[in-house]
């Protein structure tokens, strides 16, 4: 049996699972001191076996026997008895030796032995009584040494003093080493526990944040559902009547055509009808925008009931890229852009809610196409500018990163930190509600535990990076790179 395994077996003699940490340490210490002491005495027994100093041999042999009871007491779970025996046996042995052989210094072991109860007991009165016993024994021995002649004296023999002195130093070394090792072990244990608690606290904070967010969304969902119900009907009436009013203006214009009117009068009536028609168009336009805002609020506040499932991120991104592009081309026939995909074909499926992530991708792609179309409109006739949107996927720390880059108008640095805020938009009135990126940010961060970041240079490009986790979030999203995968181009 290896020495370390034997040592562990010896110091764990009598240890029960029900013991507290302190009780287990006490048993370890008692067993360890007994084993070290027995070992030292046994070594001196071998040294003095053929020596003429048979008195020292017999005393060392007695030391081996006298240090066995703590091991026996611990084996039978008599832990207090083992502790009392260890303290009192040293008290009696040192007192006897100091008086019988009159070796000056032996009695000082009683002072050190008075400190030992502090290691073995937690009750103050037990410590005080045993401390007092050792101090009283010290003064009793000092007095007895002046009146009692040595009766176990061997001429020119100082071996026994050396034995006890060595025993004292070895025991002190063992005790100090034991507590030093235990302190390091406890420090390591506390460090691991603190790290575990910090991780648990962070998980609780994230869970709390998600619960608060879900509660807010539930409350806002109930509120906006009522708002939508109450507002949508009036908005529909406003839109319908503005359309009817436009038709009535046209009918009035046709009815006034054959009427005999003076030229100034006809001009005034025509101007009023034109302004009235323009007003009705503005009413219809803003009613439609208010209706879109209500619908976006419903999307923003709706708590997801979808289930996460393994999803091919490459296929999902490609599908919504084509959907956004062809949807914009259906509205603007003259719009064209170069689409570039660089997908890592070795990505594992990502655990997401496909419908929600699809909404995010559709919004990001729509924003990218809006930016390149706007830049093209600002540079008419510029053959050097080719609208382009690039999409790539790559592996990242504990997850995957999807990047969407366009060479459009870019985002000004002073508003870069605001674009994720609800109702903040850079689009002209009527073209955006300011809820798309806010909704996307909530879906990625709160719904999927990921990150949504953006980098941009005004007039040059914008790049959105979506990190989706397969583990804890990284401190920083890795820089763009060209992963192994397929690269495709085309409208």
pTM: 0.41
CA dihedral 36, 114, 80, 38 (to 10 degrees): 20
Please list the pLDDT of the chain residue by residue as tens digits (491 residues).
578 888 888 888 989 888 888 888 888 888 888 888 888 888 878 877 776 667 777 877 888 898 899 999 999 999 999 989 988 988 888 888 788 777 666 777 787 777 777 778 888 898 899 889 989 998 998 888 888 877 665 555 556 556 666 766 676 676 667 667 777 777 888 888 888 888 888 888 877 776 776 666 566 556 666 666 567 677 777 777 778 887 887 887 777 777 777 777 777 878 887 888 888 888 877 777 777 666 665 554 454 556 788 889 998 898 888 888 887 887 777 888 889 999 988 888 888 888 888 888 888 998 899 888 888 888 877 778 889 999 999 988 788 999 999 998 888 887 777 777 765 566 655 455 445 677 788 888 888 888 888 888 888 889 999 999 875 445 555 554 433 333 333 44
Query: Which residues have a Cβ under 8 Å from the Cβ of 425 and sit 6 or more positions away?
Result: 432, 433, 434
User: What architecture (CATH level 2) is domain 308-491?
Assistant: 2-Layer Sandwich (3.30)
d(CA 234, CA 290): 11
Query: For residue 87, which phi and psi values (nearest 5 degrees)?
Result: -75, -50
d(CA 351, CA 430): 36
Provide the residue ranges of all domains of the chain, joining segments of one domain with +: 3-157, 308-491
Structure-block tokens of residue 411: 């985002």
Of the candidates 443, 329, 308, the residue with the CA atom closest to the CA atom of residue 387:
329
């Amino acid at each position: 049996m290896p020495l370390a395994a034997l040592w562990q077996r010896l110091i764990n003699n009598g240890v029960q699972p029900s013991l507290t940490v302190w009780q287990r340490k006490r048993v370890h210490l008692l067993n360890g001191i007994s084993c070290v002491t027995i070992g030292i005495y046994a070594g001196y027994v071998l040294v003095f076996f053929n020596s003429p100093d048979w008195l020292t041999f017999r005393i060392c042999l007695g030391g081996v026997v006298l240090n066995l009871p703590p091991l026996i007491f611990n084996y039978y779970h008599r832990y207090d008895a083992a502790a009392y025996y260890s303290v009192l046996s040293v008290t009696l042995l040192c007192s006897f030796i100091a008086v019988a052989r009159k070796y000056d210094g032996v009695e000082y072991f009683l002072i050190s032995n008075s400190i030992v109860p502090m290691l073995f007991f937690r009750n103050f009165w037990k410590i005080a009584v045993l401390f007092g016993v050792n101090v009283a024994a010290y003064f009793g021995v000092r007095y007895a040494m002046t009146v009692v002649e040595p009766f176990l004296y061997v001429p020119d023999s100082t071996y026994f003093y050396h034995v006890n002195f060595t025993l004292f130093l070895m025991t002190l070394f063992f005790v100090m080493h034991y507590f030093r090792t235990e302190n390091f072990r406890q420090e390591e244990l506390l460090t691991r526990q603190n790290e575990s608690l910090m991780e648990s606290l962070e998980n609780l904070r994230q869970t709390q944040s998600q619960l608060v967010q879900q509660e807010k969304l539930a409350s806002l969902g109930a509120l906006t559902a009522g708002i939508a119900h109450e507002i949508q009907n009036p908005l529909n009436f406003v839109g319908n009547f503005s359309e009817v009013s436009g038709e009535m203006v046209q009918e009035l214009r046709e009815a006034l055509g054959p009427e005999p009117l003076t030229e100034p009068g006809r001009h005034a009536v025509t101007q009023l009808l034109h302004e009235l028609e323009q007003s009705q168009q503005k009413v219809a336009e803003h009613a439609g925008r208010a209706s879109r805002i209500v619908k976006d609020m419903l999307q923003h506040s709706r708590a997801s009931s979808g289930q996460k499932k393994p999803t091919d991120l490459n296929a999902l991104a490609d599908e919504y890229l084509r959907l956004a592009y062809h949807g914009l081309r259906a509205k603007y026939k003259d719009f064209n852009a170069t689409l570039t995909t660089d997908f890592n074909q070795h990505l594992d499926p990502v655990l997401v809610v496909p419908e929600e992530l699809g909404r995010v991708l559709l919004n990001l792609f729509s924003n990218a196409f809006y930016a390149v179309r706007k830049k093209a409109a600002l540079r008419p006739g510029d053959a050097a500018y080719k609208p382009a949107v690039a999409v790539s996927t790559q592996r990242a720390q504990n997850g995957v990163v999807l990047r969407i880059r366009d060479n459009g108008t870019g985002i000004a640095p002073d508003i870069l930190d605001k674009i994720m805020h609800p109702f903040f938009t850079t689009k002209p009135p009527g073209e955006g509600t300011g809820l798309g990126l806010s909704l996307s940010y909530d879906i990625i961060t709160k719904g999927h535990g990921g990150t949504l970041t953006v980098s941009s240079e005004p007039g040059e490009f914008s790049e959105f990076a979506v990190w989706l986790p397969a583990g804890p979030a990284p401190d920083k999203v890795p820089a763009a790179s060209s992963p192994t995968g397929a690269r495709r181009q085309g409208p």
